[in-house]
Amino acid sequence: MLHSPRSVHLIAHVRRGAGLGLVAVGILWLAGCEGPLSTLEPAGRGAAQIAELFWWMTGGAALVWLSVVGLAVYAIRVSPEAHSVRKAKWLIIGGGAVFPTIVLSGYLVYGLALMPALLAPAGEGGLQIEVSGEQWWWRVRYITPEGETVELANEVRLPVGRRVDFLLSSPDVIHSFWIPSLGGKLDMIPGRVNRLTLEPTKVGTYRGACAEYCGTAHALMQFYAVVEEEDAFAAWLTRQAKPAAPPTSALAARGQRLFLSNGCGACHTVRGTEADGVVGPDLTHVGSRVSLGGGLLPTEPEDFLRWVAHTEAVKPGVHMPAFGMLPDEELRALAAYLSELE
């Protein structure tokens, strides 16, 4: 077939455009592989195995797709007479039954072989952390080596290289606990305790999320998993077990008085003070956490102010009432107190 110089130019133009479009789509697609919620950048043993399985399945799917498209092209263009039922029989039996059975059995055996290591409990030397899915935040409990219970919220700290049993529960609705960089997810079901064992292999800060629709603020129910060296983890747990230090500035001291007189202690505990509520998150060391409100805000004084004054605007559906009616200087004092709780 002959093309005029003009049509050759047009075809080249279209090809270049399509190529650039594909590259752009590819870059956008690959951008999804990175980041603190990535399953393809594993930082844990379980996540690495799941990612490996994913790549084998993606490769297999690509091969199957290429074979099917290749056969279709063969049937239409190269050997149209293969359309006859007799000649296509081998294709129907081989391609429709034998081939999928072999491929899927291979994947089944491979997947089942991964399971025992993924599901084994932490055992001797492992760590146990209780996590309860609340509406809509995460209650986290550690037992220290001294046997004390330490409660915090929306954050787990883990020592690198140690297996951890997460004992997952919920008082009311079903949630699902997921730290994509570390491993698979597991449901938190009222009336049950489910065990999820993870083994972080890389120091870093990773994101966790609720992976089961649980109500209004489901999408805003996040947390952080901070993986540290063993020494840093032990020091952190020792600090978390201590009661809150008294306020160091006049502003923070005023904030503490306002915290207690406004009834915040009916829902929140600050160990070392008379605030001992259990409905909301324990705030004893809230200033040392990575995030506020379940992964929504950092923990600078202005974030505490925004949270306390505009709770419902920051997190629609939240059960905590906003305290925006308080005068600005009282909100500042409260924010100073809370951010000092480190």
Sites of contact with ligand CUA (CB under 6 A): 133, 136, 175, 210, 212-214, 218, 221
Of the pair 45, 218, the CB lying nearest ligand CUA is at 218
Q: How many residues does the chain have?
A: 342
Please report, for residues 55, 196, 218, 283, 341, the alpha-carbon distance to residue 151 in angstroms, rounded to integers and kept in the order given: 39, 19, 22, 9, 14
State the nearest-atom distance from the C-beta of 179 to ligand CUA, in Å: 14
Of the pair 165, 187, the CB lying nearest ligand CUA is at 187
State the nearest-atom distance from the C-beta of 261 to ligand CUA, in Å: 33
Of the pair 221, 333, the CB lying nearest ligand CUA is at 221
Distance, in Å, from the CA atom of 41 to the CA atom of 63, rounded to the nearest integer, reads: 24
Of the pair 257, 319, the CB lying nearest ligand CUA is at 319
Q: In what order do the strands lie in the sheet with 127-134?
A: 149-153, 137-143, 127-134, 164-169, 194-198
State the nearest-atom distance from the C-beta of 135 to ligand CUA, in Å: 8
Quote the tokens at residue 157: 């700290």
- Cβ atoms of 197 and 117 within 8 Å: the answer is no
Of the pair 182, 220, the CB lying nearest ligand CUA is at 220
State the nearest-atom distance from the C-beta of 139 to ligand CUA, in Å: 12
Close Cβ partners of 91 (under 8 Å, ≥ 6 residues apart): 71, 82
State the nearest-atom distance from the C-beta of 216 to ligand CUA, in Å: 10
φ, ψ of residue 143 to 5 degrees: the values are -105, 120
φ, ψ of residue 323 to 5 degrees: the values are -115, 35
Of the pair 250, 279, the CB lying nearest ligand CUA is at 279
Distance, in Å, from the CA atom of 110 to the CA atom of 131, rounded to the nearest integer, reads: 31
Of the pair 140, 275, the CB lying nearest ligand CUA is at 140
Quote the tokens at residue 290: 């990575």
State the nearest-atom distance from the C-beta of 290 to ligand CUA, in Å: 19
State the nearest-atom distance from the C-beta of 188 to ligand CUA, in Å: 8
* CB under 8 A, 24+ apart: contacts of 33-36: 36/181, 36/205, 36/206, 36/207
